Chain A
Amino acid sequence: MWEYTDKVREHFLNPKNAGEIEDPDGVAEVGSIACGDALKLSFKLDENKRIADAKFKTFGCASAIASASALTEIIKGKTIEEAMKITNQDIADYLGGLPQEKMHCSVLGQEALEKAIDNYRGVSHKKPEEEIVCACFGVTDGEIERAIRQNHLTSVEEVTYYTKAGGGCGNCHDKIQAILDRVLAAKRSEKEPEERPRLSNIQKIRMIEETIEREIRPSLQHDGGDIDLIDVIGNRVLVATRGACATCQASQITLKSFVEWKLKEFVSPDLVVEEVAK
């Protein structure tokens, strides 16, 4: 049995704002009966362009019903601009949290809200450039990417909890993993400049040395090679390779893709590696 909070139980047993608004300003329907949950959201604005009333209809489990009920409560009284900032996490928070496996119920709420706002503004929600990644649940790469970014997801399993993608036949797991890898890599390089204070030259050299020692040398030695740090000029890291690496035809690839990748990851994304004769 799921561990639901009292708030979830309360909104499930006595849902607020169930129904449909006649002649709504914005309306949207998301999900499908095949996927196990669906949500229809409608709202009406007052003369000050605030959401005066919102109603929902839900097919789904207890947390889907509670999430929809919570969503309508949250958006009432808000302007469109304010409503647009609401995320699935806000819905989950309002309910005192949802079991991880049920987070997709809150994601469905956010989707319904966005589509209903689009509907009000008269823009179409179609995103032709997006591609369906999970055929079982009809989830696109864009939806998966957004869930990853918004909720800081790191595994396929988590993506399934939040979007349902991957929860059926499992054929799409590799594709989801690829999206995860891409987004996480992108997030890392976006984040680094602000997170990492500018390094002094001494700090930089020390970190490069440490990284070579800890992350790079052991694997090169494992293959019978080795690496020496010769100099650091600005962001150019000059190294010399020895043993198997020095004579290896593929040494360019070793340096570029491995050493540089490690140094970028652990020291600074601006570093470039150059090989020099010793």
Chain B
Amino acid sequence: MRTVYLDNNATTMVSREVLDEMLPFFHDRYGNPSSMHSFGGRVARELSDARHKVASLLGADPEEIIFTSCGTESDNTAIMSSLLVKPGKTHIVTSRVEHPAIKVLCEHLAQKGYRVTMVGVDSDGRLDMDEYEASLTPDTAIASIMWANNETGVIFPVEEAARLARDRGIVFHTDAVQIVGKIPIDMKGNAVDMLSLSGHKLHAPKGIGVLYVRKGTKFSPFLIGGHQEKGRRGGTENVAGIVGLGKACELAAASMEKENTYVRALRDRLENSLLAAIPQSRVNGVRDERLPNTTNISFEFVEGESILLLMDQHGICASSGSACTSGSLQPSHVLRAMGVPYTMAHGSIRFSLSVYNTEEDIDLVIRELPPIIDKLRVLSPYWATERGACTTV
């Protein structure tokens, strides 16, 4: 059975070009870039190349790039560093819809005595900018707002948020894991002080991430050890991962256009066809200010895990914000923050595409999903009573 992979916000395939670029660094060119001999030294040159490629995708300086092990490490480093360099300040501003790498860390810090403000979103998943601005205080050590939401794809006005923070002398960090490689970013033209990205969301492997730190930003390392990354992150470099990420960034820059035309068109066709074919379905999140690859659709009166498992029978991979799949007993914190009604939240499915998806992939979902929803609705005790209401379709 063919796999139709529509879960690229969870992780992506390492592209062939990236893999080819990485392979020599496992067996043939395994030197340590810190070594004095030229066998290691030649590897250091490759690291510097990769650093340039990452910097160029972000419009940043190569020295502003710190390689880490993942997005979570980058996020944790940014927050902890900002608190450490400003020991007198005890307030953190973030949003209610962050990735757990920020959300759970902030909850943890709240228990340790920090004050955390989690700014809300409206029913379309848009950040409440008035609440955000009002929450910035002289005691605020850091504001951390994700650039694009992983579940809905909604893009936040992060550049504006960063400017508001800078005006008040507050350090601004953004978790840009979902947006890097999909939307152009120019760090020269914005006021963001720190930015996290993760390799495996843009066709590089798992285990490699980046924290961008703007020149002049006070910084305190998270991993303390060797002089690697100019003493800002100890630990022997993940050479193959870094080289792979460099290549992936180069490819992302080249395919950005395709992401916003081809992928967007596939996504729109998928979304519109499903909404037309399946009554009582709706999109979660504002439709125009969104990543081009993401759609989050709720199918009322059915439950997400059941949908996923039935789609799995056809090789279709997606994810859900339902309680049963989140491992907790409540639907995703993002959908709850948006106030999505329970009848809808439990039946939410996120499709996230990549440049490797094809028209056939989309055709398959459009063909297979409507009967799956039908089958589950026939089983659902709520459907029969509601059915009379939707005779239009």
Cβ A65 vs Cβ B382 within 8 A: no
A228 at the interface (CB under 8 A from B): no
Most chain A beta-carbon contacts within 10 A, residue among B313, B380, B384: B380
* Known contacts A36-B323, A36-B331, A160-B329; A29/B381 CB under 8 A: yes
Cβ A36 vs Cβ B346 within 8 A: yes
Cβ A59 vs Cβ B381 within 8 A: yes
A167 to B325, CA, bound (A): 14
Min distance, Cβ A143 to any Cβ of chain B, angstroms? 15
A275 at the interface (CB under 8 A from B): no
* Known contacts A36-B322, A59-B381; A167/B330 CB under 8 A: yes
Which chain B residue has the least Cβ–Cβ distance from A32? B342
Which chain A residue has the least Cβ–Cβ distance from B313? A13
- Our pick among B303, B310, B381, B382 for the contact of A36 (Cβ within 8 Å) is B303
Cβ A12 vs Cβ B309 within 8 A: yes
A35 to B322, CA, bound (A): 11
Q: In the assembled complex, which residues on chain A have CB atoms less than 8 Å from the CB atom of B303?
A: 36-37, 59-61, 64
A37 to B303, CA, bound (A): 8
Chain A 1-37 per-residue mask, 1 if CB under 8 angstroms from chain B, else 0? 0100000000011010010100000000100011111
How many residues from B make CB contacts under 8 Å with A?
27
Range class of the A interface residue count: 20 to 34
Cβ B381 vs Cβ A39 within 8 A: yes
Q: In the assembled complex, which residues on chain B have CB atoms less than 8 Å from the CB atom of A39?
A: 381
A13 to B313, CA, bound (A): 9
A62 to B304, CA, bound (A): 9
- Our pick among A36, A58, A136, A164 for the contact of B379 (Cβ within 8 Å) is A58
Q: In the assembled complex, which residues on chain A have CB atoms less than 8 Å from the CB atom of B328?
A: 167
Cβ B324 vs Cβ A33 within 8 A: no
Cβ A18 vs Cβ B378 within 8 A: yes
Min distance, Cβ B319 to any Cβ of chain A, angstroms? 11
**Which B297-343 residues sit within 8 Å CB-CB of chain A?**
301-306, 309-310, 313, 322-325, 327-331, 342-343
Q: A58-B380, A136-B330, A168-B329 are in contact. List 5 more A-B contacts (CB 8 A).
A: A33-B301, A36-B331, A58-B381, A61-B303, A167-B330
User: What are 14 A-B interface contacts by the 8 Å CB criterion?
Assistant: A12-B306, A20-B384, A35-B329, A36-B303, A36-B322, A57-B379, A57-B384, A59-B379, A61-B303, A61-B306, A101-B327, A167-B328, A167-B329, A168-B330
